[in-house]
């Protein structure tokens, strides 16, 4: 088992289809690539 497996990768390995949303001041969709980069601490969160 890969120790660096993110929650997103784990859930996708089960066959789940995921949609990502920010539900702060407004509901905004987040792309899978942006969310995965945030999870891996490669990029900052896409919304303030």
Residue 17 has pLDDT above 70, yes or no: yes
Residue with tokens 């919304």: 47
What is the span of the domain harbouring residue 7?
1-48
16: phi > 0 → left, psi -120 to 50 → alpha, else beta; which?
A: beta
Cβ 46 vs Cβ 21: under 8 Å: no
Residue 1 has pLDDT above 70, yes or no: no
Tokens of 2: 């890969």
Mean pLDDT of 9-28: 93
Query: Where do the H-state alpha helices sit in 1-48?
Result: 7-13, 32-39
Residue 3 has pLDDT above 90, yes or no: no
Q: Would you place residue 5 in the very low, low, confident or very high pLDDT band (cuts 50, 70, 90)? A: confident
* pLDDT at position 2: 52
Number of structural domains the chain divides into = 1
pTM of the model: 0.75
């Amino acid at each position: 088992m890969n120790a660096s497996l993110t929650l997103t990768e784990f859930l996708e390995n089960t066959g789940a289809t995921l949609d990502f949303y920010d539900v702060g001041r407004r509901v905004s969709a987040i792309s899978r690539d942006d969310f995965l980069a945030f999870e891996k601490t490669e990029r900052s969160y896409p919304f303030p």
